[in-house]
Chains A and B, each alone.
Chain A
Amino acid sequence: MVQINLGKREITMKLVYYGPALSGKTTNLQALHQVLDPSARGRLMVLDTSDDRTLFFDLMPVYFRTRSGFTIKVKLFTVPGQVIHDSTRRIVLQGADGVAFIADSQKNMMKENNDSWRDMTANLKKNALDIEHLPIVIQFNKRDLINIRSDEEIAEVAKRGKEPVFLASAIKGDGVLETLEGVLRLSWRFLNKKHDLEKKLDVIEDEIISNLLKKVSPNDSRAPYLGNGDRT
């Protein structure tokens, strides 16, 4: 649930990257961390185990200050995909303003996608979040692999659903910004409709998106990753 503190002039939104184990949620955040301007994002916090599996969650904040002096902060979380971490997933999902569901494009991972979606639906209900209205986008990741569902097939079936669908290869950085933009726009519109934020903050959607998704300048020599050490 968005936290609006008009006194401190802060808006904090929460977006959650959900999906089956090893579908590339952390890789999405790592790719975003690489590509986003350090002035618009914080450090990437990765809480993982020794075998690179997410233990609790990953967290990266992105933020910008509006002309009217408001700080708009968006916290990007990932959930741990492994089945045993159900209670952690439920806690991370609590109060989410939007979800990017990271599905695995490989044909033999469809059951895992389905199970994870059902798990998310159950956890949304337990957190009293309404799946009918909560902004959700779907990313089919790992487009660089073989034995994946074809672009045509996904495009065809995507037409039948209401969730915007993005194709990505997070490991190459392809499609990750588009996915974040997708879920950010949907979530912002949803919150703006509810709280009339654009009027209160004197800001428009495109301004938020372009500032939050400001890319790092090619000449920026700052270290791209200051978290726990890169995961391969």
Chain B
Amino acid sequence: MSHESPDSSQEISVLQHNFKLEDLLDLESFREVCAGYSDLFQLGLKIFDSSGVKLVDIKSKGRDLCAYLFSFPKGKNLCTREVVHIRDSRISLDGLTEHVCFTGLHYVLAPILHEGVMIGRVVFGPFVPVGYTLPSLPQMGENFDSQTASSLVERVRKTQKQVVHKLVRHLIQTIEVMLYIGYKHALTSRMHLEAATSSYNELQDKNIALEESYRRLKELDRLKSNFLANVSHELRTPLTSVIGYSEMLLEGLAGDLGEEQSGYIKTIMEKGEQLLSLITGILDYSKIESGNLSLTLDWTDPIELVKSAISTVLPMARKHGVRVEVEPKDEIPRIRVDAYKIKQILTNVVGNAVKFNRKDGKVSVRLEVVSAPVEPDLHQDLPASFQRLEEKMIMIAINDTGVGIAPEQQDRIFDSFYQVDSSSTREYGGTGLGLAIAKSLTLAHGGSITVNSNLGKGSEFIISLPVDRGP
């Protein structure tokens, strides 16, 4: 299977993009929300993205103790270590993580998840449980004043752990909603841009291709028009003269004719008309072959089409003494077809049934709705499961009581220019294109045409047209 190579300029879509926390939030609004939480509960709040960048840092009064400790060289080291820990340590993705620093101050850490993946963390604190007392901190050195430190502890929020846990969960839920809105907004706006860019590029390519094919088609159209005009003119003009002058001779405009002369002129005229019909048939067939057949589809009553076709061949039937009957068996639904083309098919097949009938013979046209099996691999480009086992078809069966067709000939009668034997052309007339055209037109409608015949007894042509499935 061959593949078109992808457009090398095609960029990776926003749908494959891994968003960072800051991509999904409007940081200014987000900081306001965080400040609101912090202010309401008198707790410090920090938010880091997945690479450790601090996006939010709201300090509470409890921070004064940290600032005091930080002023000592040893305290600075210890505080820095704590900060690195709460920023970078591995935390539980399924719940909250508690951290207690060297002074006994508490922090609660929680992951910010997006589609199951951690894209940041929330750090709430410091706070101290009720009844907390500052431990002695000999490592801070001589200048450390435990009384000052203890007074600063008073500024640290005292609360129960459960309260902070509840608060963190609530903040996480709020962040999730903000992320969802941000994600949706990012996807929508960027997708809109991508789709518009892609459509624009595609249209540009199509425009270039269309301009080129328009130029070529114009040239081809000019050549084709010339050809058709030549064929029509060069063949039809002299032929019309041949037929016209023959007709004038027969009508005695150039004087009386003897019986033998009349016979010859009649033959000239008949053969001229046959040739004219052949040229018209070839033009029709070449249109189909070149793929220029266009169908004008409309909802149509099949019975009306059959009756119309019969009325066209009725004069010939009367001349041959052949009776033509219509038997609609069921209620026949309307179908969406090109009425002119279907009438052309029916006129041809019913015309054949009359032409190849015996004298005083009969042609009957039967219409019914049938369920027909669908050929496997009708559409090879589709998965097998899309194919129908059977579908509803309108069957138009044309029976005659004529000469019939031998089994070995039955497959070939739909080939162009084929006639059962060359003598039949002489005996019955015709170009040998009618059934080929009928078959092409039926196929173009998504239908089929088949024949059953008993030599010497008659033939049955069955034209099937789909009810549900159009061309």
Residues of A near any B CB (own CB < 8 A): 1, 3, 8, 10, 12, 14, 42-43, 45, 47, 56-57, 59, 61, 63-65, 71, 73, 75, 77, 85-88, 90-92, 94-95, 103, 107-108, 110-111, 113-114, 117-118, 121, 125-128, 130-132, 138, 140, 149, 153-154, 156-163, 165, 226
The segment out of B179-187, B272-280, B451-459 that lies at the interface is B179-187
Closest A residue to B93 using CB positions: A65
Of the A-B pairs whose beta carbons lie under 8 Å apart in the complex, a sample of 14, sorted by A's number, is A45-B180, A56-B187, A71-B117, A75-B15, A94-B16, A95-B13, A110-B468, A117-B383, A125-B3, A126-B7, A127-B6, A128-B3, A131-B1, A160-B384
Contact A92 to B15, CB < 8 A, known contacts A114-B386, A158-B384:
yes
CB <8 Å contact, A108 and B187: no
CB <8 Å contact, B385 and A128: no
Contact A56 to B376, CB < 8 A, known contacts A107-B468, A111-B469, A163-B383:
no
Query: Inside 8 A of A64's CB, which chain B residues have their CB?
Result: 116
A91 vs B13: C-alpha distance in the bound complex, in angstroms? 7
Closest A residue to B200 using CB positions: A87
CB <8 Å contact, A161 and B381: no
Contact A121 to B381, CB < 8 A, known contacts A42-B115, A110-B388:
yes
CB <8 Å contact, A153 and B116: no
A89 vs B29: C-alpha distance in the bound complex, in angstroms? 34
* Contact of A88 (CB < 8 Å), options: B1, B191, B379, B386: B191
Tell whether B421 is near chain A: CB-to-CB under 8 Å. no
Nearest-Cβ distance from residue A100 to partner chain B, whole angstroms: 13
CB <8 Å contact, A161 and B180: no
CB <8 Å contact, A3 and B4: no
Query: Inside 8 A of A128's CB, which chain B residues have their CB?
Result: 3-6
Tell whether B202 is near chain A: CB-to-CB under 8 Å. yes
B183-222 interface code vs A (CB 8 A; 1 in, 0 out)? 1100110011011001100100000000000000000000
CB <8 Å contact, B389 and A156: yes
Tell whether B84 is near chain A: CB-to-CB under 8 Å. no
Nearest-Cβ distance from residue A123 to partner chain B, whole angstroms: 11
Query: Inside 8 A of A117's CB, which chain B residues have their CB?
Result: 382-383, 386
Tell whether B410 is near chain A: CB-to-CB under 8 Å. no
Query: Inside 8 A of B184's CB, which chain A residues have their CB?
Result: 45, 47
A3 vs B19: C-alpha distance in the bound complex, in angstroms? 14
CB <8 Å contact, A118 and B385: no
A3 vs B382: C-alpha distance in the bound complex, in angstroms? 30
Query: Inside 8 A of B379's CB, which chain A residues have their CB?
Result: 114
A140 vs B386: C-alpha distance in the bound complex, in angstroms? 10
Nearest-Cβ distance from residue A19 to partner chain B, whole angstroms: 12
Closest A residue to B180 using CB positions: A43
CB <8 Å contact, A87 and B385: no
Given contact pairs A42-B116, A130-B1, enumerate 12 new A-B contacts (beta carbons under 8 Å): A42-B115, A45-B183, A45-B187, A65-B93, A75-B115, A118-B381, A125-B3, A126-B6, A126-B7, A128-B6, A161-B383, A161-B385
Tell whether B77 is near chain A: CB-to-CB under 8 Å. no
**Segment 1-50 of B: residues with Cβ below 8 Å from A:** 1, 3-7, 10, 12-13, 15-16, 18
Query: Inside 8 A of A159's CB, which chain B residues have their CB?
Result: 384
Nearest-Cβ distance from residue A146 to partner chain B, whole angstroms: 15
B349-381 interface code vs A (CB 8 A; 1 in, 0 out)? 000000000000000000000000000100101
Closest B residue to A156 using CB positions: B389
Query: Inside 8 A of A63's CB, which chain B residues have their CB?
Result: 115-117
Q: Which residue, B12, B115, B188, B468, has most C-beta atoms of chain A within 10 A?
A: B115
CB <8 Å contact, B202 and A65: no
Q: Which residue, A43, A75, A162, has most C-beta atoms of chain B within 10 A?
A: A43
Nearest-Cβ distance from residue B21 to partner chain A, whole angstroms: 14
A85 vs B202: C-alpha distance in the bound complex, in angstroms? 13
**Segment 43-71 of B: residues with Cβ below 8 Å from A:** none
Contact A94 to B15, CB < 8 A, known contacts A63-B116, A73-B115, A110-B469:
yes
Contact A91 to B3, CB < 8 A, known contacts A56-B187, A160-B384, A161-B383:
no
CB <8 Å contact, A154 and B385: yes
Tell whether B387 is near chain A: CB-to-CB under 8 Å. yes
Nearest-Cβ distance from residue A40 to partner chain B, whole angstroms: 8
B127-151 interface code vs A (CB 8 A; 1 in, 0 out)? 0000000000000000000000000
* Contact of A160 (CB < 8 Å), options: B7, B180, B376, B470: B376
A95 vs B180: C-alpha distance in the bound complex, in angstroms? 23
A158 vs B389: C-alpha distance in the bound complex, in angstroms? 11
Query: Inside 8 A of B183's CB, which chain A residues have their CB?
Result: 45
A86 vs B389: C-alpha distance in the bound complex, in angstroms? 31
Nearest-Cβ distance from residue A56 to partner chain B, whole angstroms: 5
Query: Inside 8 A of A110's CB, which chain B residues have their CB?
Result: 386, 388, 468-469
Query: Inside 8 A of B7's CB, which chain A residues have their CB?
Result: 126
CB <8 Å contact, B195 and A65: no
* Contact of B188 (CB < 8 Å), options: A10, A56, A111, A161: A56
B313-336 interface code vs A (CB 8 A; 1 in, 0 out)? 000000000000000000000000
Contact A153 to B389, CB < 8 A, known contacts A42-B115, A91-B194, A95-B13:
yes
Query: Inside 8 A of B4's CB, which chain A residues have their CB?
Result: 125-126, 128
Query: Inside 8 A of B383's CB, which chain A residues have their CB?
Result: 117, 138, 161-163
Nearest-Cβ distance from residue B392 to partner chain A, whole angstroms: 9
Nearest-Cβ distance from residue A67 to partner chain B, whole angstroms: 13
Closest A residue to B203 using CB positions: A87
* Contact of A87 (CB < 8 Å), options: B5, B117, B195, B468: B195
A153 vs B195: C-alpha distance in the bound complex, in angstroms? 39
A3 vs B15: C-alpha distance in the bound complex, in angstroms? 12
Query: Inside 8 A of A86's CB, which chain B residues have their CB?
Result: 199
* Contact of A130 (CB < 8 Å), options: B3, B117, B187, B199: B3
Query: Inside 8 A of A149's CB, which chain B residues have their CB?
Result: 388
Q: Which residue, B1, B187, B385, B388, has most C-beta atoms of chain A within 10 A?
A: B385
**Segment 413-471 of B: residues with Cβ below 8 Å from A:** 468-470
Nearest-Cβ distance from residue A21 to partner chain B, whole angstroms: 17
A158 vs B387: C-alpha distance in the bound complex, in angstroms? 9
Query: Inside 8 A of A1's CB, which chain B residues have their CB?
Result: 16
Contact A91 to B195, CB < 8 A, known contacts A45-B187, A114-B379, A121-B381:
yes
Q: Which 5 A-B pairs have the closest CB atoms?
A: A63-B116, A160-B384, A161-B384, A128-B6, A87-B198
Query: Inside 8 A of A118's CB, which chain B residues have their CB?
Result: 381-382
